Amino acid sequence: MFIAFTEAWERFSYYGMQTLLMLYMTRQALLPGHVERIMAFLPFRQGLEWLHGHSLDTIALASAIFGLYTGLVYLTPLGGGWLADRWLGRTPTITLGALLMAAGHFLMAFEQSFLLALLCLLIGVGCFKGNLASQVGNLYSAQDLRRADAFQIYYLFINGAVIAAPLIAGTLGEKLGWHYGFGAAGVGMVISLVIYLSGLKYLPPDVKVVRHRDARPAPLTAPEWKATFLLLFLIPVLAIGAVGNQEIFDAYMIWVPDHVNLTFFHRTMPTTWLVTLDAIVSVSFLVGSIWFWRIWAKRFREPQEITKLAIGTASCTAALLALVAAAAHSGPAHKSSIGWILLFEVLNSFGFSNVFPVGMALFARASPSRLVGLMMGAYLLHLFLANYLVGSLGGLVERLPGTQFWLLHASLVGVSCAILIVLSRTAARLLARSDAAPAGFCRALAGPRTSSRPESPGGTGGISAGR
């Protein structure tokens, strides 16, 4: 429970800050009179514009910064794991990460230290997140079935924090001042560190990995090579399929308040509460998806993961088309109904529940046993690519009409879906489970099961994730 509460408060601070980041940049930090105060911002901006190949206005610049930051969040844990394994150990690395993150959140309260704050947060997340999750697994032996329950509790606390962060830090930032919201995130990180240090005596000691120089792994077989190449090919496909979901913290936060009526009982809902709404719907569908496939598996063959990925991206495409409809129903004199946003959230959350955790399960099951750790790290690269792409696309929100902007996203996710459908019909046998339904998107509704075999490890049962 100490680790669960530690992670919950860390996620509260992380998502509290991330919920405010795009709004803070576009409404204050990057505006004239403020941006000039940020230390080292001019060379940083020049580097970003060189990377993108053109000059960036305020919204495009904010989106590029957001995409780069959220993308690197998925790369820095690789360095944090290396630092813990080779040098410091997990506990000192986690403590260092927590201190850096707390410093980063407090530095966000000052315009001058904006870039330094982001740097502290990136390094801190890298040191903290992956190493803390590994300590959850180290609490139990490899044969202890309570390990799965522990991770479910762990992710339950994460999702609870994602729901609470916009309501508290987001509301403080929007209503009272940005520094109040970032300060609340900093306080949350300090609480996380205090809880972690209080529970150190209950944690297992760090285990050093001993490598034998003469030990050489056996070469991969031909089927293992083919499966590995197919999984690597899926990384950019899944990255394209994730742009709609990852856009929620970026252009979505800017576009919705201007085009959708967020007024309830004569009171306007804070923009940051959109993240809480998204988190609540997402958690509901993650849990519902687990139970749905368990019930389905009692009577029918469960589809292969790649077929579920196609189903999920199809739903995400439909969700973005709901935003296209919302844009079509809004105009200069009136805003669209929030019903379109609710439809987007439902369809996108259903799709997300059949993409991210299913993809994780696929990579964990289908990767060669000696490459599982490496391939799981490679799987997270699709989120790095997706966030970087979102950073480029988000700048178009003020240049394109809403219908074209969201249709562009729907088209990209639709391309991902189409590729997955083709793969489910042609190459799925390379990644097939022994008890899976026949390959093919249109065969997802397979015939009744002829075996009483329990659900395979490749299914979504027992897997959930926080955005």
Query: Partners of 336 in the beta sheet?
Result: 260
Residue 456 · residue 436 · CB < 8 Å:
yes
**Residues 167 and 252 reside in one and the same domain:** no
Question: In 105-116, which positions are buried (b, 16+ CB within 10 angstroms) versus exposed (e)?
Answer: bbbbbebebbeb
**Residues 281 and 192 reside in one and the same domain:** no
Residue pLDDT, tens place only, 186-241: 999 999 999 999 988 887 666 555 555 555 667 878 888 888 899 999 999 999 99
Average pLDDT over residues 290-315: 88
Cα separation, 361 vs 374, whole angstroms: 14
| CA atoms within 13 Å, Cβ hemisphere of 180 | 11
For 243-330, where are the E strands, in sequence order?
263-264, 267-268
Provide the residue type at 112 as one letter: Q
Placement of tokens 């190449």 in the chain: 229
**Residues 370 and 237 reside in one and the same domain:** yes
Average pLDDT over residues 266-273: 82
Residues of the chain with pLDDT > 70: what percent?
Answer: 84
**Residues 407 and 272 reside in one and the same domain:** yes
Question: In 242-267, which positions are buried (b, 16+ CB within 10 angstroms) versus exposed (e)?
Answer: bbbbbbbbbbbbbbbbebbbbeeeee
**Residues 325 and 359 reside in one and the same domain:** yes
How far is the CA of 79 from the CAs of 11, 58, 222, 280, 370, in angstroms?
20, 32, 31, 32, 20
Cα separation, 68 vs 128, whole angstroms: 19
Of the pLDDT bands very low, low, confident and very high (cuts 50, 70, 90), residue 328 is very high
Question: In 15-29, which positions are buried (b, 16+ CB within 10 angstroms) versus exposed (e)?
Answer: bbbbbbbbbbbbbeb
How far is the CA of 186 from the CAs of 111, 122, 143, 173, in angstroms?
16, 14, 38, 13
Evaluate if residue 156 carries a pLDDT over 80: no
What is the signed CA dihedral for 456, 459, 461, 462, rounded to 10 degrees?
90
Evaluate if residue 439 carries a pLDDT over 50: no
Average pLDDT over residues 287-313: 86
Mean pLDDT, the chain, whole residue set: 83
> Which run of H or of E encompasses 442?
none
Q: Which of 366, 359, 353 is nearest to 382 (CA)?
A: 359
**Residue 215 placed within a domain:** no
Residue 423 · residue 236 · CB < 8 Å:
no
**Residues 152 and 286 reside in one and the same domain:** no
**Residues 286 and 427 reside in one and the same domain:** yes
Task: State how many domains the chain has.
Answer: 2
Average pLDDT over residues 409-434: 87
Q: Which of the listed residues 180, 207, 234 is the one where a domain comes to its end? A: 207
In this structure, what CATH number is given to the domain that contains residue 129?
1.20.1250.20
**Residues 173 and 244 reside in one and the same domain:** no
**Residue 420 placed within a domain:** yes
Count of Cβ atoms closer than 10 Å to residue 431 Cβ:
24
Q: Which of the listed residues 175, 207, 239 is the one where a domain comes to its end? A: 207
**Residues 176 and 242 reside in one and the same domain:** no
Residue pLDDT, tens place only, 56-95: 999 999 999 999 999 999 888 888 888 887 888 888 999 9
Cα separation, 115 vs 42, whole angstroms: 11
Of the pLDDT bands very low, low, confident and very high (cuts 50, 70, 90), residue 287 is confident
**Residues 173 and 234 reside in one and the same domain:** no
What residues make up the domain containing 176?
Answer: 1-207
User: For residue 459, what is the DSSP state?
Assistant: S
What is the signed CA dihedral for 24, 26, 27, 28, rounded to 10 degrees?
70
Read off the tokens for 345: 């959230």
Q: How far apart are the first and last CA of the chain?
A: 21
**Residue 218 placed within a domain:** no
Residue 360 · residue 377 · CB < 8 Å:
no
Q: Which tops the pLDDT comparison, 133 or 235?
A: 235
**Residue 327 placed within a domain:** yes
